Amino acid sequence: MLKYYCLIMMILSSSLFSISNKKVEKLIATDQLNEAEKIIPSLKKFEQYYFTGLIENLKGNPEKAYFIMEKALKLKDDDPDILYKTAKFLLSTDNSKDANLPSGKEKVDKTFDFLKKGYKLNPKHKGLIFHLALEYQIVPWFYGGDDDETEKILSDTYKFDEEYSDLCKLRLFFFGGDMDDAGSFGEKCIEKYSLNPNFYFLTARSYFMRNMNDKGFEVLDRGISKIESTKLLSYYGNYSVKKKLNYDKGIEYLKRYLKLKDKINILDNQPRLFRANYLLGKLYHLKNDYENAKTYLKKSLELNPNYSKSKKLLIMIK
């Protein structure tokens, strides 16, 4: 009887941890970091490190995030996702902020070690595919870079996921600074994968980076006419502000973005929407419509009272 009781308690305990983990994941995904931090101490040690690392990175502390994720890695060194995140955080670190951080060749070597080990464990992990291919492409050959390895990774990926392989190739053009190839290859991909917003998004960015603004907005318009994508709608609004162009359409698309977000996450608190409301406020401000501008800036601050851009613009209007 005792044996069965212990077994039931173990199952219940595991179930409770699983529920808590999912709750923390949801809180982090919706930027409710303070609420997530209240639950984390009740989790197992590995989960404590893992979630705390994610939160520190979201707070803009990749140095802390890296050291914490390394602790998680010591408890579970065969998890491709942990290896990926540890590598990603390490890439974002600044050695001048902490002398204990790897730098130079040591940083490159450690990053490669994490990525290669993770990729070997799971060659279909999308984050590992892209970042390992990117490292081989951008790192000088004497630090371990190798364009042939990049091509091999993309070729191997193409065998089981053509679309993601092409997306990686487009991202490599973009992040490698080759905007001409990014634009031309992106256009080909849009014809081939017309329902994937990422191809429109990156292709449009390649045009904006070259100040080909009309072409950038046209690509986003094309994507929005094909798919109801929150990414494309919000990006159009963002670039309407950045380029000070197409205010009315930017406003229309941001409002559609907010409505779509409500449909998708109707039961969720959505603090991230503070930025969309700020962009709406900014666009109305650019149109000299100060009443509407104030309305959306106040909504932005209701969702995130500390958002400095909304605060400053609201003070300026008043």
pLDDT in tens, the chain (318 residues): 544 444 443 433 333 346 678 888 888 877 788 888 999 999 999 999 999 999 999 888 999 999 999 999 999 999 999 999 999 999 999 888 888 899 888 999 999 999 999 999 999 999 999 999 999 998 887 777 888 999 999 999 999 999 999 999 999 999 999 999 999 999 999 999 999 999 999 999 999 999 999 999 999 999 999 998 999 999 999 999 999 999 999 999 999 999 888 765 544 445 578 999 999 999 999 999 999 999 999 999 998 888 899 999 999 997
Cα angle, residue 143 at apex, residues 140 and 144 outer, rounded to 5°: 90
Q: List the domains of the chain with CATH numbers.
A: 1-75 (no CATH), 228-317 (1.25.40.10)
d(C-alpha 122, C-alpha 136), whole Å = 18
Is there a contact between 87 and 131 (Cβ–Cβ < 8 Å)? Answer: yes
d(C-alpha 93, C-alpha 85), whole Å = 13
d(C-alpha 250, C-alpha 237), whole Å = 4
What is the rounded end-to-end Cα distance, in angstroms, of the chain?
72
